[in-house]
Amino acid sequence: MSEIINWFSKISFTDPAIWLALGSGMAIVLIFLFLGRRQRRATAIVASFSDESNANPADVWLPSTKSPDERRRSVRRIGIPTAVRITDPKKPKKTIEGFVLDRSSGGLRLAMEKPFSTGVILQIRPTNAPPESPWIPIIIRNCREVGDYFEVGCQFQEELPWHLLLMFG
């Protein structure tokens, strides 16, 4: 203990090395506090009025709900995968099994064993749908292989009523 007291008693506040060490330490702490913890904002806090020509002026002050890289017109929902049957309108008796991975009011992301090319029009219906439920036409927008299945992005050919959208989960 006496060694520590002797060491501290030799320190002089007039020594420039002490002030240099304290100053550089404080500079490093400040750099980490201000730059290291700074968060980048993906969207502006206040939306500009020019973004939407028919926007309500009261809504201009609301924050944007979409990220800048989001190109969807509707919100995507992920839920429990829903089993569906997919068929080609040219071959209506042959159905393919698949699962809805996520859904929006504009379309679905499906998981299935067979790939489809972009632009193909198919029909889809949940497996638990009543027999009188209509087959819903979809357009394949993208398809990619993921492990042992294919993820297929589909767009509804027309806007669906709410009760039909709910069938997909």
pLDDT of residue 75: 58
How remote is the C-alpha of 23 from its chain's centroid?
44
Query: CA 155, CA 143: separation in Å to the nearest integer?
Result: 12
Residue 61 is predicted with a pLDDT of: 45
pLDDT at 152: 92
Instruction: Find out whether 123 and 89 touch, Cβ atoms under 8 Å.
Output: yes
- CA dist list (Å): 91 to 17, 54, 96, 126, 141: 85, 45, 11, 18, 20
pLDDT at 123: 93
Distance CA 110, CA 99 (A): 5
pTM summary value: 0.54
- Reported as a single tens digit per residue, the pLDDT across 117-169 is 999 999 999 998 888 889 999 999 999 998 899 999 999 998 888 888 888 87
What b/e sequence results for 102-131 when a residue is b if at least 16 CB atoms lie within 10 Å of its CB, and e otherwise?
Answer: bbbebbbbbbbeeebeeeeebbbbbeebee
Beta-bridge partners for 152: 110, 143
Per-residue b/e over 36-59, b at no fewer than 16 CB within 10 Å? eeeeeeeeeeebeeeeeeeeeeee
- pLDDT tens-digit profile of 26-60? 888 888 777 766 555 444 444 444 444 555 554 44
- Per-residue pLDDT, 151: 93
